[in-house]
Copies of this chain bind each other. A is one copy, B any other.
Amino acid sequence: MEATLLLVDDEPKVLDVMSLFLKGEGFRILTARTGREALQMTEEHRPDLVVLDWMLPEMSGLEVCRELRKSYSVGIIMVTARTEEADKIVGLEVGADDYITKPFSLRELAARIRSVLRRVQGRTEEPQVLRRGDLTIDEAKFRVWKGDQEVILTPTEFKILVTLAARPGTVYSRLQLLEAAMGESYWNYERTIDTHVSHLRKKIEDDPSNPKYIQTVYGVGYRFGDRL
């Protein structure tokens, strides 16, 4: 659920600073230095949102914006140094989703990016309550009950459980579970999952050595039992 951003600016230094910060905020980052490159990158990688400098060599940000709007439903944030009224009006007509004027703080940029992404992506599906056997898993409340007894899970345990319980019977590899639990930028030892599963079983299974909820598929991964 990590969003991909395309940053477009002709100054390498600006790109560097923005990339670094936004990566730290959990976004996947692409960069381009010219309008042409921006269009090409958009075609190839389909980012969720483009941060577009107004002043670009060759093709102005304005033109790039128009082009993007023609062919893609990507979010666009224009970065501009000018504040004159004329620009505002033109800007309004071009169809960017938001504007930000230099100088701006990186935090503000991140905030606006999130705000536009929310709007562009529309509402995410509502979290629900899963019932599996005598387990109740409430995604919105981040809570789990076994019968009427609440079970306290750590964030990672919770995510693994939700992932598995969402599709009983489906086998997930350790890599898939790692991704589900940590996001895609995991760099971890796959076997860490084993440890989490072990802890989970202790908390939710009647008999952890003979699990009915989280079952091992030898040589493949884990699955949530579908006969409870």
Which residues on A are within 8 Å of B, measured CB to CB? 11, 13-14, 17-18, 21, 80-83, 85, 87-89, 91-93, 95-99, 101-112, 114-116, 119, 138, 140-143, 154-155, 169-171, 175, 184-189, 217-220, 223, 226
Contacts and interface: CB of A to CB of B under 8 A. Distances in A.
Contacts of A116: 108
Q: Is the interface of A mostly helix, strand, loop or mixed?
A: mixed
A137 B192 CA distance: 30
A142 B14 CA distance: 44
Given A97-B105, A111-B185, 19 more contacts: A13-B85, A17-B92, A21-B92, A82-B83, A83-B104, A92-B104, A92-B106, A97-B107, A99-B103, A101-B101, A101-B103, A105-B187, A107-B119, A107-B189, A109-B187, A115-B185, A142-B217, A143-B169, A154-B219
Nearest to A159: B219
Given A105-B98, A107-B95, A85 B220 contact: no
A224 B141 CA distance: 10
Contacts of A114: 175
A99 B46 CA distance: 31
A105 B115 contact: no
A64 to B, nearest CB: 15
